[in-house]
Amino acid sequence: MAIDSLQARIRKMKNPSMVCLCPTYEALPAGVKDAAREAHGETLLGAAAAYEAFCCAILDALQDVLPAVSVVSGAFSALGADGVAAMQRVLAYARQLGYYVLIDLMRADLFSAAEDMAAACFGQLAVGGQRFTPYACDGVLTTAYLGSDAIRPFTQYCKDGKNVFLIARSSNKSAREVQDLLSGDRVMHQVMADLAMRWSGDLYGRNGYSEIGLAVGATNSAVLKRLREKYDRLFFLVPGYGAQGGYAKDAAGAFDKFGHGAVVMAGRLITNAWQKHSETGDDFARCAREAAVKMREQLTSYVTVI
Amino acid sequence: MAIDSLQARIRKMKNPSMVCLCPTYEALPAGVKDAAREAHGETLLGAAAAYEAFCCAILDALQDVLPAVSVVSGAFSALGADGVAAMQRVLAYARQLGYYVLIDLMRADLFSAAEDMAAACFGQLAVGGQRFTPYACDGVLTTAYLGSDAIRPFTQYCKDGKNVFLIARSSNKSAREVQDLLSGDRVMHQVMADLAMRWSGDLYGRNGYSEIGLAVGATNSAVLKRLREKYDRLFFLVPGYGAQGGYAKDAAGAFDKFGHGAVVMAGRLITNAWQKHSETGDDFARCAREAAVKMREQLTSYVTVI
């Protein structure tokens, strides 16, 4: 899939939002932890099994509501190899269910490590005569502080229908410490946007959006709006909705006049919605679905996806 | 270990350099690949077994020459869970041999993913009543584009003897696209240095160096020298030696007048040294050792570690 198919899925489901899967053990429902503990004890394998069961149940419950999912690799990687194995299964399951699948890499490698990681996500990693794609997905979110050497290994797959999103203005509070600094007549997050434009070359979809997009948080609506106006050919991932304080009204600034060109990301708002309703979280998947439906309603009260 | 113990190991071995383990399948010696293929076929598990055998043999051969090792997580992560399992064993083996062990994370996470990743490297990741440290190490190299929210989870362990290094000026060619931009009277890599100083608080070792350091490439000796003069309390990791074009004369600018405060990193120069001597690389570990010894000679002809 590429940026056109992401937009097509959003239009089909009339929902410009996606869920971030960023599990952490303590925040999982008791039932999920109990089942994993019974099978594997209190081990990293047990925690990984709990992550997988939790995420796959949420993917099941949301498949007719949400067009896309983002898998936060750091959350799974923290569990070591067992966590990464669980992440690979979650990625495969999300693709099987038809989601547009993004990996939030939160990383940027160089040289052979970058080439190999890009092949692992988008292409075919060669082991002698065999080929593997352990992290098959539709797009990655990465960071461009290292410049084009770290990004080109990924963008070379854009012509094959893959997307690369650069962190421009993240949604966390300390984002301003670096990303809002002024350089000449541009702030740093604009520098990232300019790099995305420069690296886009002729990589544009039918809707006019580049296969290389940006992550721009919903927590600073002025920045979001200004970037939307200036960079009308860059698709935006918009994190920070809900738990981090961004709202539908703020996120609305990310969209063009057709309600295109952006997708709003929510993590805890959806995945931890059960915590508002029960102690044990036995109905976590239903709560996640309700939260996702409510988020769709809130967004579409400000944004009409044509 | 903390920054004092890294310096102590450097002094003891009279060698301010470290090896970067960044394997890629195609570049491995034939014998290593053959053995892994016989045991596991041409699979990701086979590739991971080859990475592990190769890296552990190099760690064996270099243990009396080099004080420290950097493990590039992206290279191993590209193989999926099998690669990460191999990385965990390489990390454990390096610590067992007494190396100062750095993980080149090349990533920065936020929120629970950052807390969990920091616990996985430096602390104790809780799974119910059990505690795990899948990536036990002495320091991490990370990126501060997201600001303090992404770094604090790691620096909170500095008082327990852990180090955090921020990418300031990387050694790759495109580093300048972002890192050399001017912001006010500072270039971006200075912004990173200033953040490292601000976050250092009272985290200084006996030698006066902060537990929070910087990565500054050997490929731009003017930048390296200028940063050394201005930031005399920040320890430098210096990548880009050898294969990327940095030399001992350039790297020398990273050190203070006692030959302290920096460690030069080399990857392919050491790990792929066999490629200059043979087709098959049966003697890759001996070649790595010779390259490391030669690098020590070159460095110590410019820098005297007192």
The pLDDT profile of chain B, 306 residues, written as one tens digit per residue, is 589 999 999 999 999 999 999 999 999 999 999 999 999 999 999 999 999 999 999 999 999 999 999 999 999 999 999 999 999 999 999 999 999 999 999 999 999 999 999 999 999 999 999 999 999 999 999 999 999 999 999 999 999 999 999 999 999 999 999 999 999 999 999 999 999 999 999 999 998 999 999 999 999 999 999 999 999 999 999 999 988 888 999 999 999 999 999 999 999 999 999 999 888 899 999 999 999 999 999 999 999 999
B residues 158-177 near A, CB within 8 Å? 167, 170, 172-177
Of A78, A80, A81, the CB nearest to B113: A78
CA separation for the pair B107, B142 (Å, rounded): 6
- Tokens 């892994």 — which residue? B36
Residues 213-232 of B with CB under 8 A from A: none
Question: Does the distance separating the beta carbons of B184 and A74 come in below 8 Å?
Answer: no
Helix, coil or strand: residue B104: strand
Residue B284 corresponds to which tokens in the numbers above?
Answer: 């890759």
Residue B47, token pair as written in the block: 């590739």
Nearest CA in chain B to A182: B183
Structure tokens at B191: 């912004």
Q: Is B167 left (phi over 0), alpha (psi -120 to 50) or beta?
A: beta
Total-model pTM: 0.96
A22 contact B CB<8A = yes
ipTM for this prediction: 0.95
Cα A232 to Cα A249: distance, rounded to the nearest angstrom: 19
Task: Determine whether the interchain pair B143/A84 forms a contact, defined as Cβ–Cβ distance below 8 Å.
Answer: no
- For B5, half-sphere exposure in the C-beta direction (CA atoms, 13 angstrom radius) is 15
Nearest residue of chain B to residue A107 (CA atoms): B107
- As a residue count, chain A comes to 306
Question: Quick check: B119 contacting A, CB < 8 Å?
Answer: yes
Phi, psi of A299 (to 5 degrees): -65, -45
Six-digit token string for B289: 């050792």
Cβ-Cβ contacts under 8 Å, A47 against chain B = 127
Confidence of residue A174 (pLDDT cuts 50, 70, 90): very high
Chain A CB contacts of B37 under 8 Å are 128
Predicted pLDDT at B1 = 54
User: Does the pLDDT at position A1 exceed 70?
Assistant: no
Distances (CA, A) of B147 to A170, A181, A194, B143: 10, 12, 21, 9
| DSSP letter string, B49-87 | HHHHHHHHHHHHHHTTT-SEEEEEHHHHHTTTHHHHHHH
A chain contacts of residue B182, beta-carbon cutoff 8 Å: 183-184
Q: Which of B134, B150, B170 sits opposite A79 (nearest CB)?
A: B134
Q: Is A154 left (phi over 0), alpha (psi -120 to 50) or beta?
A: alpha
Q: Which among B82, B106, B172 has the least Cβ separation from residue A147?
A: B172
From chain A, the residues in CB contact with B148 under 8 A are: 174, 177
